[in-house]
């Protein structure tokens, strides 16, 4: 049975919802809803964030929170009992879950019950960890297919269980990831499943990112960076690059927008390098404020690095947003970033963990606004061509509608 993209009822399975930093998930869901798709959200845990992006309010999908606390044995067996009586062969599939986290098995039973009662026809999980574990087990129970989006942490982090990830890929109807670099990594690691692994870029609602006009004269010019304050974002390298710029008497102000565990260390580095008059840690900001800053930035910097754990950014959404807005961008050559920031064409690329190169690139753009303007125009065209959330969500629904690897592979579709 093949469903048309608009006919299927899709269950999104997420570890937490909403998440302040996961705007790409919200953009994806909103694009599905704009096309008339019926979406329901299933969250394994409640949010722990204190602030939310304004776009959360636009999501119409109902949110179901699965049990996130420890479960008594009696509750587990009471939940399992209807499946034992109605679907004993399906329950046999749970033999595959031996050794799995007991709470995840219980959540899968809950999710499977929702799938039946709510008429869910497809499950899609973001991140290949617990959300995909639960979606997979619910799929085994119900026969409803699942897909998942594998992000960089799912592929590169030292904590990745290669065998478990391979099993999830094997059982999925299709596997999505957000860059060609990631596709190559997964296909190399799991060549037997290469036909079901495909790249779908995280899309943007381009109507929310109009191309900015010419910058008004600002003193000093703004160097902007946005992201969680964690190692893989490389903000310590940006701070060291700012130190070099100060030594070279370059006029600028650097604002780093975001929050995270690394805030104290970054604040200390700013103090030690005597940069308190030049570099500001602004804390987290809502998306509308970030867009305002991007419209004012002389340079946007994404100095991403490979963390000690192996974790790294696949393709930062904020970098796409800056390119869409028209801020001239500098980024590092990490994972899939050079697919979008093409050196000398849509931005400037420097090596990771190279504050000296970063300082040179920033100074170059500050001194050559015409270069920045030409890079920005080409960057915007690339975003319009490849990162429209509505086009990319349409392709996702085509993958969802394929229903199983027996009916279609990703090669049967024209990729967005």
Report pLDDT for 84.
Answer: 64
> Which of 309, 116, 292 has the alpha carbon at shortest distance from 209?
292
Rounded Cα distance between 187 and 216, Å, is: 47
Rounded Cα distance between 118 and 239, Å, is: 51
Report pLDDT for 108.
Answer: 93
* pTM score: 0.89
Report pLDDT for 202.
Answer: 94
Residue bearing tokens 């899968």? 108
Rounded Cα distance between 156 and 22, Å, is: 19
**Tens of pLDDT, residues 144-157:** 999 999 999 999 99
> Which of 285, 307, 335 has the alpha carbon at shortest distance from 151?
335
Mark the ranges of the chain whose per-residue pLDDT is less than 70. 1-7, 77, 83-85, 88-92, 95, 98-99, 218-219, 403-416
Q: 125 φ, ψ to 5°?
A: -110, 145
Rounded Cα distance between 201 and 219, Å, is: 36
Please report the domains of the chain, with CATH numbers, ordered by start residue: 9-203+388-412 (3.40.50.2000), 206-386 (3.40.50.2000)
């Amino acid at each position: 049975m093949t469903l048309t993209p608009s006919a299927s009822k899709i269950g999104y399975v997420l570890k937490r919802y909403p998440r302040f930093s996961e705007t790409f998930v919200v953009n994806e869901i909103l694009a599905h809803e704009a096309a008339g798709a019926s979406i329901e959200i299933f969250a394994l845990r409640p949010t722990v964030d204190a602030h939310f992006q304004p776009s959360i309010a636009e999501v119409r999908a109902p949110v179901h929170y699965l049990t996130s606390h420890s479960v008594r044995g009696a509750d587990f067996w009471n939940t399992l009992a209807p499946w034992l009586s109605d679907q004993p062969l399906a329950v046999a599939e749970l033999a595959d879950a031996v050794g799995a986290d007991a709470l995840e098995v219980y959540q899968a039973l809950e999710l499977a019950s929702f799938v039946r009662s709510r008429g869910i026809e497809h499950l899609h999980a973001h991140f290949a960890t617990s959300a995909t574990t639960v979606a997979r087990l619910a799929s085994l129970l119900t026969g409803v297919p699942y897909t998942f989006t594998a992000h960089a942490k799912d592929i590169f982090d030292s904590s990745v269980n290669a065998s478990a990830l391979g099993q999830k890929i094997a059982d999925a109807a299709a596997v999505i990831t957000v860059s060609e670099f990631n596709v190559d990594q997964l296909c190399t690691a799991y060549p037997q499943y290469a036909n079901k692994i495909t790249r779908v870029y995280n899309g943007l609602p381009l109507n929310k990112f109009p191309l900015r006009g010419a910058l008004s004269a600002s003193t000093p010019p703004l160097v902007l960076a946005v992201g969680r304050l964690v190692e893989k974002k490389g903000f310590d390298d940006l701070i060291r690059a700012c130190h070099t710029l100060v030594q070279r008497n370059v006029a600028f102000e650097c604002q780093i927008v975001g929050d995270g565990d690394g805030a104290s260390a970054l604040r200390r580095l700013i103090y030690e390098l005597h940069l308190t008059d030049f570099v500001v840690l602004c804390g987290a900001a809502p998306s509308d404020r970030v867009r305002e800053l991007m419209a004012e930035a002389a340079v946007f910097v994404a100095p991403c690095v490979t963390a000690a754990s192996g974790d790294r950014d696949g393709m930062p959404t904020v970098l796409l947003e800056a390119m869409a807005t028209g801020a001239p961008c500098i980024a590092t050559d990490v994972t899939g970033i050079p697919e979008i920031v093409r050196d000398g064409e849509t931005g400037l690329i420097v090596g990771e963990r190279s504050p000296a190169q970063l300082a040179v690139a920033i100074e170059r753009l500050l001194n050559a606004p015409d270069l920045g303007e030409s890079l920005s125009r080409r960057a915007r065209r690339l975003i319009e061509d490849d990162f429209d959330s509505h086009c990319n969500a349409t392709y996702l629904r085509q993958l969802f509608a394929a229903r199983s690897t027996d009916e279609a592979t990703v090669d049967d579709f024209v990729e967005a």
